[in-house]
Amino acid sequence: MQNEYTLTRAEKRFIGWHLFVAISALAIGSFYGPMQAFNYAGWNFYPLLRKLYIARSYYQGLTLHGVLNAVVWTTFFILGFLTFNMIYGLKRPLKYPKLNAFGFWMMVVGVLLAAYYILANKASVLYTFYPPMQAPWPFYLGLVLLVVGSWIEGYGFYFTLHQWKKDNPGVRTPFIAFASVATMVLWQLATLGVAIEALFMLLPWSAGLVKGIDIQLARTFFWWFGHPLVYFWLLPAYLSWYGYLPRQAGGKLFSDTMARLAFWLFILLSVPVGFHHQFVDPGVAPGWKYIHALLTLSVVIPSLMTLFTVVASLEYAGRQRGGKGLMGWLTALPWDDPIVASQLLGGILFIFGGFGGIVNASYNTNLILHNTAWVPGHFHLTVSTAVTLTFMGISFWLVPYITGRELCCRKVALWMVYLWFIGMSIFSQAMHSLGLLGAPRRTPLGEAPYIPPEWSGLLLRVGIGGIFLLIAVYMYIWIMVHTAFFAKKAEKEVEIQVAEAMTDVQAVPEWLDAWKPWLVGAVALLIVAYTPVLIDLISGMVPVAAPAMKLW
Amino acid sequence: MASLHIDKHEKRWITISMVLLAAFAVLIGVAGFALGVQVPTLDQKIDPAKLDQDPEWSNPGVREIVPGKKYEVFIIAQTWQFTPREIVVPAGAKVTFYVTSRDIQHGFKVLDTDLNVQVIPGYVGKLSYTFKKPGEYKFICTEYCGLGHAAMFGVIKVVPPEEYGQ
């Protein structure tokens, strides 16, 4: 089948640059993850890495792993993928391509600036950069440029959608474009928190303009951003699950309407939830923690809606493929197609990520697991499996589309996807268990003197998971390098498999294609959920200075 | 205007989700506010540079309020140690911990209990626990605080009430 629309070479190249930065970051950042897992298992490579100038400490490696994987890989991949969805979904170029290019290069400058200070071991402050640990001010400036650059790319999307709506009155926005703009709107609301922290607290303080800042206040602004950040990672994966996966699996999208409703609910509910990361912070009153716990739990609704719609779409696909009986549709799905398998496997582990998320969000059970190995165990199921495997699946068609080459080594791609799934299952299960026993996160447990011998079996399993993941991630990088630069030129353009909805898209109610009421609701909820606590904290600030010595 | 069309199975599914959500909300509320599984609260704010001038904080450690029944423990976290590193309390007594930091953020988590607080300079966290069984409970730093972070821990020795103070 012929694609209904074709991107220009310049547009493809622009998206390709996003993916290039994303995958380069993944290639570097992912090296350090397994090194941490190996340290847990007692295989300590840090003395060697120190000699080779690859990592000065566990924590420098951890900072690189967190920033490059969780921030750079995700943000750049997402913006590249969403740019594609805007153009292809609306079948028109971006309204101001130069504005988007400006945003992109601002992000690149920001990343390079921050990366320099991390690589020079001047900013081993992890990707949460909690004060009063202090990095040099250009590090924070780099983060600000990254965030503001991403906003500008988002504004480019808004202008493009606005023009499209003007030219197509009464027509429902195509789902993939709608979901792209929705993701950027969520990102805008979320990043306001961290932007305030960086611009008004961290920058002036690290530049020496103010002596001290209030640490509880800084944490509160950070977590205003820190949780919706995970929905910024997830929504593009959901875009693929709703917008592409049904067709890639051989079926249709079960309900376009419910897909949109889920996105709106995420915009509404996923931002005012930050205190569930601060349940054990002394400076936030318990009542407010409880309210945020309820708001966090209400995100269960759009999450379970997504589960229903995606599974219903897949069941339809499986039955179209000849699957019979209660579960026959499941085995009939194309598990041997790396594009589909990556998303299915990511989705399976995401179910467990969801269960864990409910435990994290619960006001009382969080006491057991706050800042333990449970937490990285949890988010390696969500961002590092559901999101990352889905992004890898997307890259298996998007990179060939951009470079005009065939996906190199399909079999390797398929193996890689399953290895990732197995490795992450082993790793994450052991991390959850360690967390329940009380093992702290972000700690080289291989060197910690308080580790009881009973934990050694679990620590070993963390290392074994790391072996699978180290192999899998470099298989992926190898596939990408070959697909981008060396693979056979394809005879025709990759077919873009946007899923058709089972129902008429025009039957989507108007209020599900109207931005104003939802945005007003989201901002109002954000104000209600944060204003009293912020007023309380700001009116009683305790300024704290940076420590006198370098701590890493 | 088109109305919202929801498949009947999905309607049922959403109803179940909502019931589940309501059940969680109630259970958490009951655990948190009726059964007393409480998150840490704020005791007071204090300038970390002036801890040594404060009568309470210049000499951290255990205070006996009601012998055998009620104790207070003051703990200062700083890079890369807790003061004091060893704490002795009797089993069965209600122990209230006051924890703060002298420099940067740390964590205070007591293994095998639900005691857990983010240690934030400028803020004193307050949390309580009754150790029922005698034994050694390690408390560890759970927040990254620099190169020595992994070695930052201490021990609470819970002794039978009749042996306490001997």
On whether both B25 and B101 belong to a single domain, the answer is: no
On whether both B95 and B25 belong to a single domain, the answer is: no
List the pLDDT tens digit at each of the 166 positions of chain B: 467 888 999 999 999 999 999 999 999 989 888 888 889 999 999 999 999 999 989 999 999 999 999 999 999 999 999 999 999 999 999 999 999 999 999 999 999 999 999 999 999 999 999 999 999 999 999 999 999 999 999 999 999 999 998 7
Chain A nearest CA to B160, separation (Å) = 24
In a mutagenesis test of the B interface, which of A309, A370, A510 is the best target, namely the one with the most B β-carbons within 10 Å?
Answer: A370
* CB pair distance less than 8 Å for A281 and B40: yes
At A507 the pLDDT is 86
On whether both B25 and B71 belong to a single domain, the answer is: no
Phi, psi (degrees; rounded to nearest 5) at A390? -65, -45
**Residues on chain B touching A301 (C-beta within 8 angstroms):** 14, 17-18, 21
Q: Using CB atoms, which residue from B9, B114, B123 is nearest to A283?
A: B123
Which CA distances in Å does A441 have to B12, B39, B81?
Answer: 39, 20, 18
**Residues on chain A touching B50 (C-beta within 8 angstroms):** none
What are the structure tokens assigned to A175, written together? 């789902």
At B3 the pLDDT is 76
What part of B 101-120 touches A (C-beta under 8 Å)? 103-105, 107, 109, 111-112, 114-118, 120
Residue A5 is among the residues annotated as catalytic for this protein: no
Count structural domains, chain B: 2
Residue A421 is among the residues annotated as catalytic for this protein: no
Phi, psi (degrees; rounded to nearest 5) at A66? -65, -50
Q: Residue A126: left if φ>0, alpha if ψ -120 to 50, beta else—which one? A: left
Among chain B residues, the shortest Cα distance to A58 is held by B147
End-to-end C-alpha distance for chain A, whole angstroms: 57
* Cα–Cα dist A551/A377, whole Å: 26
What part of B 48-67 touches A (C-beta under 8 Å)? 48-49
On whether both B73 and B147 belong to a single domain, the answer is: yes
Question: Cα A315–A321–A324 angle (5° rounding)?
Answer: 65
Contacts of B121 by beta carbon, 8 Å cutoff, 6+ apart: A132, A215, A542, A544, B48, B100, B101, B102, B103, B104, B105
* Cα–Cα dist A213/A542, whole Å: 7
At A1 the pLDDT is 63
On whether both B28 and B82 belong to a single domain, the answer is: no
Nearest to B125 by CA among B77, B89, B81, B83: B77
Contacts of A60 by beta carbon, 8 Å cutoff, 6+ apart: A118, A121, A124, A552
On whether both B9 and B74 belong to a single domain, the answer is: no
The secondary structure of residue A502, as a DSSP letter, is S
On whether both B28 and B103 belong to a single domain, the answer is: no
DSSP A229-281: HHHHHHHHHHHHHHHTHHHHTTS-BS-HHHHHHHHHHHHHHSSTTGGGG-TT-
Domains of chain A (ranges plus CATH)?
Answer: 9-336+494-539 (1.20.210.10)
Chain B nearest CA to A250, separation (Å) = 21
DSSP A416-485: HHHHHHHHHHHHHHHHHHHHHHTPBSSS-TTT-TT--GGGHHHHHHHHHHHHHHHHHHHHHHHHHHIIII
Structural domain harbouring B60: 41-163
pLDDT less than 70: residues of chain A: 1
Chain A nearest CA to B105, separation (Å) = 7
What are the structure tokens assigned to A133, written together? 């640990």
On whether both B55 and B33 belong to a single domain, the answer is: no
Residue A442 is among the residues annotated as catalytic for this protein: yes
Q: What is the tens place of the pLDDT at every residue in A409-432?
A: 999 999 999 999 999 999 999 999
On whether both B133 and B96 belong to a single domain, the answer is: yes
pTM, 2 dp: 0.97
Residue A231 is among the residues annotated as catalytic for this protein: yes
Contact B152/A at CB under 8 A? no
Question: Cα A154–A160–A162 angle (5° rounding)?
Answer: 105
* CB pair distance less than 8 Å for B118 and A540: no
What are the structure tokens assigned to A38, written together? 């190996």
Among chain A residues, the shortest Cα distance to B147 is held by A552
What are the structure tokens assigned to A9, written together? 């070479």
What is the number of CB-based contacts under 8 A between chain A and chain B?
209
On whether both B68 and B149 belong to a single domain, the answer is: yes
End-to-end C-alpha distance for chain B, whole angstroms: 81
To the nearest 10°, report the CA torsion of A182, A185, A189, A190.
60
Among chain B residues, the shortest Cα distance to A509 is held by B2
Under a CB-based contact definition with an 8 Å cutoff, are residues A150 and A187 in contact?
yes
On whether both B138 and B114 belong to a single domain, the answer is: yes
Q: Using CB atoms, which residue from A371, A447, A551 is nearest to B109?
A: A371
Q: Using CB atoms, which residue from A133, A254, A290 is nearest to B32?
A: A290
At A405 the pLDDT is 96
On whether both B106 and B135 belong to a single domain, the answer is: yes
Contact B38/A at CB under 8 A? yes
* CB pair distance less than 8 Å for B18 and A301: yes
- The HSE-up count of residue A418 (CA atoms within 13 Å, CB side) is 9
Phi, psi (degrees; rounded to nearest 5) at A130? -65, 125
Task: Read off the CATH number of the domain in which B111 is found.
Answer: 2.60.40.420
